Amino acid sequence: SPSCPDGRKRRVCYYYDPGISNVDYGKGHSMVPRRVAMTHGLVASYGLLNDMTRLRTRPASPEELLAFHDQKYVDLLGRLTPAAYISDGDLRRTAEEHGIGPVRRWDDGACTNDNPVIDGLMEYCLSYAGGSLAAARALCGGDHDVAINWSGGMHHACRGHANGFCYVNDIVLAIKQLLGRFRRVLYVDIDAHHGDGVEKAFADSNQVMTLSFHQYQTDFFPGTGSIDDVGDGAGRYHALNVPLKKGMDDQGYHELFKPIVGKAMQVFQPDAVVLQCGADSLSGDRLAGLELSVGGHAECVRYLRGFNAPLLLLGGGGYTINHVASCWCYETAVAVGKEDEIADEIPHHPYDHYYRSQGYKLQCRTEAPGSLSSGENKDAAAIRVKALEHLSA
Ligand code: TV1
Ligand code: CA
Ligand code: ZN
C-alpha cells in the first residue's frame, strides 16, 4: 500500500552512533548531545527502525575532513584533550586561536565558552561527520531516497575554526560528497540561526544554492544573513537569506517557506537536496525566539520530500531537548511516510520521563493554518517579494 499521500514509498536510511550519549559540552552548556540519544530512543519505541536501513558505518577518517578543513586545524583536533589543554601551553594558545577553549572570562571567575575542549572531541567530530558522509554516499549510490543523520547539521564550523558549538562542518563535507555524483545541490537551513559556514563555503559556487531561514535581530548570533546577501561572482543569487523576526509562527513561516523553496526548486532544478533541520526554531526553545510547532517544522520536511529529489536530513540546533527529540522523531516518521500512523501518545521507553511537561504527547498534530486571515506582517511580505526577485534575477 502507498506509504504517503503521493503514493510513492521512500527508501530511507538512518545513522545513529550510541557514543553520542557520552558527549558532554560541560555543565550548563546549551548544547546537549544526549538529545540525539533521546531522539533515537523515541524512534525505536515507535518501531520506526523497521522502516529504515540502519547505516552501520565507520567514523570519518581525519583525511576525509581535509576535503573542507585545513591540515593544521585537523591536526589540532586530533591532539586536543582536556588534559593536554591544561598541561601544554602551546597547545592551549593554538586551540584558542582556532576558537576552542575558554576565551571569555568574567570577573567572578565564570567563563562562557561556546566551543569547549570536550572529552573525546575528535571521536565526536569523526562520528557525526562520518554519519553525514555515509548518508550522502547512500544517496549517491541510488539505493536510498532519503538519508538521515540527526547528529549532524553543524552549520557554523569554518575551514580552520570552531564556531557556534560546531567543530567540523559535516554539511559542507556531505555536499562535496554529493557533488561527486549530482550536478546541483540545494541546501535549505531551518535552524533558527543563520547557516553561515555552509553559505560561506559555497558563496562563489553556482552548483550549490544555499537558502537559510533564521531569526535576525541585533545581538542574535551570528548576526549575518541579511536579505541582501546573495553570494559572490559565479555564485551570485545562489545564496539566499530569509531573515525573520522573533515570534514568527507556523502560518507566517510557511507563507515564506513554501513560495521561496518552491521557486528555488523550480529555477535551480537541484539533483539532490540537503535539509538542515535545526529544532531551535520550535516554540519554547531556550536560545531562540521563533514559534514553530512540531507540525509546522515537520511540514518543511514533508514539503521538500514531495519533490522526489534525493534528500539528506540533518540535525542542528535545538535547546529544549524534549521538544527536539519529539520533532526529529516525528520527522523520521514523515521521511518513511508514516506521519498519519504515528500516535501522539509517547510509548513507554527508557527516556519517557523527559516528556512529562508535554503530557507525554509528541504534539505533532496542529491545526491547519487558517486560509483566510493572514498572520503575515508587512515586513515578512516585503522579505518574500525580495527573495522571489533574487530567484528571478
Ligand atoms: C556555555 C555555557 C556556553 C552556557 C553558550 C547562546 C553557552 C550560550 C552557555 C550561547 C549560552 C550562543 C554567541 C558569544 C557571541 C557568541 C548547532 C562572543 C544561554 C547550530 C550557536 C549559538 C547556535 C552561539 C548553534 C551563541 C546552532 N548563544 N549559554 N552561545 N559571543 N554565541 O552569541 O546554530 O544552533 O546561552
Ligand atoms: Ca537557518
Ligand atoms: Zn541554531
The ipTM is 0.99
Question: How confident is the model over 279-320, as pLDDT tens digits?
Answer: 999 999 999 999 999 999 999 999 999 999 999 999 999 999
Q: Whose CA is nearest to atom 17 of ligand 1?
A: 317
In short, whether 30's Cβ falls inside 6 Å of ligand 1 is: yes
Kindly state whether residue 2 falls inside one of the protein's structural domains: no
In short, whether 103's Cβ falls inside 6 Å of ligand 1 is: no
In the chain, the number of structural domains is 1
259 CA distance to ligand 2 middle (Å): 17
- Radius of gyration (C-alpha) of the chain in whole angstroms: 20
Q: Is residue 366 over pLDDT 70?
A: no
| The pLDDT of residue 26 | 94
In short, whether 221's Cβ falls inside 6 Å of ligand 1 is: yes
* pTM attached to this predicted model: 0.96
Query: Are 212 and 241 contacting, i.e. CB atoms less than 8 angstroms apart?
Result: yes
Question: How confident is the model over 237-281, as pLDDT tens digits?
Answer: 999 999 999 999 999 999 999 999 999 999 999 999 999 999 999
48 CA distance to ligand 3 middle (Å): 26
Q: Residue 238 catalytic? A: no
d(CA 332, CA 344): 14
- Domain range spanning residue 72? 12-392
Q: Which of 40, 69, 144, 156 is catalytic?
A: 156
384 CA distance to ligand 3 middle (Å): 22
Q: Is residue 7 over pLDDT 90?
A: no
| The pLDDT of residue 2 | 45
In short, whether 112's Cβ falls inside 6 Å of ligand 1 is: yes
The DSSP 8-state label assigned to residue 55 in this structure reads -
| The pLDDT of residue 1 | 38
- 368-377 burial: b if 16+ Cβ within 10 Å, else e: ebeeeeeebe
Burial class (CB in 10 A: 0-12, 13-18, 19+), 131: buried
**Ligand 1, residues 221, 224, 290, 324: which to mutate, most atoms within 8 A of Cβ?**
221
In short, whether 224's Cβ falls inside 6 Å of ligand 1 is: no
Kindly state whether residue 4 falls inside one of the protein's structural domains: no
Write the CATH number for 71.
3.40.800.20
Q: Whose CA is nearest to atom 35 of ligand 1?
A: 317
d(CA 102, CA 95): 9
3-state secondary structure of 105: strand
Name 311's bridge partners. 146, 273
C-alpha cell at 45: 519505541
> Mean pLDDT score of the chain, rounded to an integer?
94
The residue with greater pLDDT, 107 or 54, is 54
| The pLDDT of residue 105 | 64
Kindly state whether residue 3 falls inside one of the protein's structural domains: no
Kindly state whether residue 362 falls inside one of the protein's structural domains: yes
Least confidently predicted of 68-82, 99-113, 141-155, 249-263: 99-113
Kindly state whether residue 1 falls inside one of the protein's structural domains: no
Kindly state whether residue 265 falls inside one of the protein's structural domains: yes
| One-letter amino acid of 51 | D
3-state secondary structure of 254: helix
Nearest to 254 by CA among 284, 297, 215, 194: 297
Kindly state whether residue 101 falls inside one of the protein's structural domains: yes
Kindly state whether residue 36 falls inside one of the protein's structural domains: yes
